[in-house]
Amino acid sequence: MSAIRLVAVDEDGTFLRDHAHYDVERFARVFDRMRAAGTRFVVATGNQCYQVMDLFADHWHDMGIVSANGAYVLDGREEVFAARATDAAVARMIEVCHQNPDIPFSLLGVNGAYVERGAPQEFFDDTARYCHRLFWVDDFSQVDDQVFMFSTVVPEPELDDAMALVGKAVDGSMEVVSSGEGYFDVVCPQVSKALGLRHLLERWRIDPKDCIAFGDSYNDMEMLKMVGCGYAMANAPTDIRQAADRVAPPCTEDGVLQVLEEIFGA
């Protein structure tokens, strides 16, 4: 491929070692080298944009952010795209939540994320790792926000059944996608990390073939296939590694930074 004009990275299982940490100083050096080379850096994640801003506090204003699996896209401080689930789809998902209280959900919108009172505290606390602007509400129907996603986590052996149950209930009004380790999201139709990234590529006039991307889960697959070179992490499932162009060292070994240092210098 020609000169790399953009690098897109997933967070959990890809860039981050343990859902929360990375080598900040090492990344800062690589980021400066990418900037000097005229290469854009994008975080493409299922997490909330406010989590990305906190995690990359010194750099997010110079980055692209594809958050909530492509539902909310920022170019630094400027909003580029915000998906909106239809009122009917939101109402149906709220009904699904109320009919299945054993599957706790969070609701995500432009201004924050929300969990209904009565959900386990441990679910709220776990969600807070990925959504740094998170609120308790008495009922999802009271939320006054532009809604674009619902998210949950279940024990991995129960994942397929839970996804099938929700998928049947929403009946195409929203789409169900796995994000790994028992987590899955219910998103607006046709919204994905690839779509969110494409909004930035069009804005910056960058050809997908001049980009590389890193990911480890099924919600990364379309993005990995879209770019000139897609890297699956060594810790990714076998079928994702097989579908990617290359395999990067695992996230526990800072695999993304290793590859970027090989390309841009340490």
| Residue/partner pairs of 246-252 with CB below 8 Å, 24 or more apart | 248/214, 251/13, 251/14, 251/15, 251/16, 251/17, 251/216, 252/17, 252/18
Provide mean pLDDT across the span 160-184.
93
SS3 letters across the chain: CCCCCEEEECHHHHHCCCCCCCCHHHHHHHHHHHHHCCCEEEEECCCCHHHHHHHCCCCHHHCEEEEHHHCEEEECCEEEEECCCCHHHHHHHHHHHHHCCCCCCEEEECCCEEEEECECHHHHHHHHHHCCCEEEECCHHHCCCCEEEEEEECCHHHHHHHHHHHHHHHCCCCEEEEEECCEEEEECCCCCHHHHHHHHHHHHCCCHHHEEEEECCHHHHHHHHHCCEEEEECCCCHHHHHHCCEEECCHHHCHHHHHHHHHHCC
Give the β-pairing of 64-67 and 72-75. Answer: antiparallel
User: Tell me, what's the pLDDT at 19?
Assistant: 77
Task: Please give the average per-residue pLDDT across 112-120, as a whole number.
Answer: 97
Residues of the chain with CATH 3.40.50.1000: 6-81+191-264
Taking 70 as the threshold, does the pLDDT of residue 1 lie above it?
no
CATH 3.30.565.10 fits 87-187, yes or no: no
pLDDT value for 251: 97
Q: Note the pLDDT of residue 2.
A: 66
Query: Which of 16-20, 56-60, 88-92, 101-105 shows the lowest per-residue confidence on average (mean pLDDT)?
Result: 16-20
Specify the fold of 6-81+191-264: Rossmann fold (3.40.50)
Phi-psi category of residue 40: left, alpha or beta, with phi > 0 → left and psi -120 to 50 → alpha: beta
Share of the chain above pLDDT 90, in %: 95
pLDDT at 18: 85
pTM of the model: 0.92
Residues of the chain with CATH 3.30.1240.10: 87-187
Arithmetic mean of pLDDT, 240-246: 95
| Confidence grade of residue 179 (pLDDT, cut at 50, 70, 90) | confident
pLDDT of residue 180: 82
Which tens digits make up the pLDDT trace of 193-203? 999 999 999 99
Per-residue pLDDT band at 181 (split at 50, 70, 90) = confident
Alpha-carbon span 25 to 261, nearest angstrom: 13
**Would the pLDDT of 121 be above 90?**
yes
